[in-house]
């Protein structure tokens, strides 16, 4: 007889939602995490009374009413609306591209004038079949927006020049002809008051959690402890890279406490030129309308991934997707192990998607 019904590897959103639901059904769960804290990527740490998003800015947004109601049982959400600002060599523009942006770029006031300006730029581009990301960007939004707001940021994100990147990376660049700086189109959005860690704590209430516990360091023993395993780490590592290594993009964060009240006047400022080495600066207090005397900022640097670093983003190109499909075939043959979340399924998930996926996984359990 195993000691637990489920061993859940990873206390990120996928593992925590799964554990919460199974615990409610009376199943005995053990959650382990190699980190010294719960929450995975959504972990927030309180510094100077400010909830700091330790693994990058996390804004909850969804169009799914059920998921919105689901997360609201764990926390109250504020009315934060994501309206990032772009800083291009000291020029400030609103994002996403909307009438405020066009007014600042070209001095136009009406949607008709803005459309005419973009049309004029598109006409002079002469690109039929874009051969790379640069041509694709220019074809989608014209040279001015592309060069000031897309090019440098994208090149830093991928660590490659836009002319060396494939066109398919940017399929669409949404352009809005209204004065609206709200980044997301979803019906629901906000930040949990008190931070995301509180949500995870609530989900894991009454469940046994072991931190600083790496599955691979105690594999044999852990595997014998439960009837089923939910694995939310890297799927290729689970199979000891037997079919090859999947690739990721990593990030590096530099966090600073500043002895001033308000550093940049907005939660998110994107640096869209190529020369500034970071892609954005997050000022965490603005996610929760903080009035603390100090402030905490984080510079976010895209980083080449190696096995010692955190794999933030799967690189879902043709080569990696093909390799993942091979791992998935192995996973489908397992009757004791379920792979979930962004690393287990090698897929970029927003928070609402990963919650939905965990709930579906719960429903599929007998
Ligand atoms: C920079 C960034 C910004 C984002 N911003 C947003 C946003 O604004 N809005 C949004 O909706 N989504 C956002 N996301 C996506 C969001 O972070 C994910 O949807 C979510 O965190 C995925 O949860 P998960 O449980 O799949 O993975 P994770 O949070 O990565 O959890 C996996 C857990 O498994 C643990 N683990 C792995 N291997 C082992 C092992 N061998 N042994 C023990 N434990 C292990 C890890 O330590 C980790 O805690 C962002 C992602 C990134 C990278």
Q: Is the CB of 341 under 6 A from ligand 1?
A: yes
CATH homologous superfamily of 4-81+188-245+316-363 equals NAD(P)-binding Rossmann-like Domain (3.40.50.720)
Residue 300 among the catalytic residues: yes
Domain limits, CATH 3.40.50.720, in the chain: 4-81+188-245+316-363
HSE-up of residue 95 (Cα within 13 Å, Cβ side): 24
What is the C-alpha separation between 160 and 157, in angstroms, rounded? 8
* Active-site annotation holder among 186, 208, 303, 350: 350
Residue 280 among the catalytic residues: yes
CA of 12 to the centre of ligand 1 (A): 6
Residue 227 among the catalytic residues: no
Tens digit of each residue's pLDDT (9 = 90 or more) over 53-83: 999 999 999 999 999 999 999 999 999 999 9
Q: Is the CB of 312 under 6 A from ligand 1?
A: yes
* Active-site annotation holder among 135, 283, 300, 352: 300
- The closest-lying atom of ligand 1 relative to the alpha carbon of residue 300 is 1
Q: Name the band, by pLDDT with cuts 50, 70 and 90, for residue 128.
A: confident
**CA 170, 64, 288 angle in degrees (round to 5)?**
80
Tens digit of each residue's pLDDT (9 = 90 or more) over 306-361: 999 999 999 988 899 999 999 999 999 999 999 999 999 999 999 999 999 999 99
Query: Model-level pTM?
Result: 0.96
**Average pLDDT of the chain?**
96
**Among residues 315, 168, 225, which one has the least CA distance to residue 9?**
225
Residue 161 among the catalytic residues: no
Q: Name the band, by pLDDT with cuts 50, 70 and 90, for residue 169.
A: confident
- The encoded tokens of residue 270 equal 């994107």
Sign of CA dihedral 44, 49, 50, 55: negative
> Which stretches of the chain are assigned E, i.e. beta strand?
4-9, 29-32, 44-47, 50-53, 60-62, 85-88, 91-94, 188-190, 208-210, 226-231, 248-258, 268-271, 280-283, 295-304, 313-314, 337-339
Residue 172 among the catalytic residues: yes
Name the residue of 232, 305, 340 whose CB sits within 8 Å of the most ligand 1 atoms, as the mutation to test its pocket: 232
Tens digit of each residue's pLDDT (9 = 90 or more) over 85-107: 999 999 999 999 999 999 999 99
What is the C-alpha separation between 16 and 205, in angstroms, rounded? 10
Residue whose CA is closest, atom 2 of ligand 1?
56
- C-alpha distances (whole Å) from 207 to each of 150, 197, 216, 279 are 45, 15, 22, 38
């Amino acid at each position: 007889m195993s000691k637990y019904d489920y061993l859940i590897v990873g206390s990120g959103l996928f593992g925590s939602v799964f554990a919460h639901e199974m615990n409610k059904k009376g199943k005995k769960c053990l959650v382990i995490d190699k980190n010294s804290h719960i929450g995975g990527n959504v972990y927030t740490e309180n510094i100077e009374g400010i909830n700091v998003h330790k693994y990058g800015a996390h804004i909850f947004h969804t169009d799914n009413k059920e998921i919105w109601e689901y997360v609201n049982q764990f926390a109250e959400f504020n009315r934060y609306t994501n309206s990032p600002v772009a800083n291009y060599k000291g020029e400030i523009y609103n994002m996403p591209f909307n009438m405020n942006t066009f007014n600042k770029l070209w001095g136009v006031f009406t949607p008709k004038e803005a459309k005419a300006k973009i049309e004029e730029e598109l006409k002079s581009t002469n690109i039929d079949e874009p051969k790379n990301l640069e041509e694709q960007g220019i074809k989608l939004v014209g040279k001015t927006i592309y060069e000031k707001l897309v090019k440098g940021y994208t090149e830093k994100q991928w660590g490659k020049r836009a002319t060396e990147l494939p066109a398919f990376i940017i399929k669409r660049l949404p352009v809005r002809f209204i004065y609206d700086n709200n980044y997301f189109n979803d019906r629901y959005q906000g930040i949990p008051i008190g931070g995301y860690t509180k949500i995870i704590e609530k989900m894991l209430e009454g469940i046994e959690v072991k931190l600083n516990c790496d599955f691979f360091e105690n594999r044999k023993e852990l595997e014998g402890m439960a009837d089923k395993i939910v694995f939310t780490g890297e799927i290729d590592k689970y199979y000891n890279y037997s079919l090859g290594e999947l690739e990721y993009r990593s990030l590096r964060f530099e966090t600073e406490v500043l002895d001033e009240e308000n550093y940049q006047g907005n939660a998110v400022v994107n640096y869209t030129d190529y020369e500034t080495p970071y892609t954005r600066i997050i000022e965490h207090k603005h996610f929760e309308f903080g009035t603390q005397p100090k402030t905490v900022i984080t510079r976010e640097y895209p980083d080449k991934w190696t096995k010692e670093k955190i794999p933030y983003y799967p690189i879902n190109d043709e080569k990696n997707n093909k390799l993942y499909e091979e791992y998935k075939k192995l996973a489908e043959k397992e009757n004791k192990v379920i792979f979930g979340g962004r690393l287990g399924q090698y897929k970029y998930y927003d928070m609402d998607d990963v919650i939905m996926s965990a709930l579906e996984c719960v429903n599929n359990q007998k």
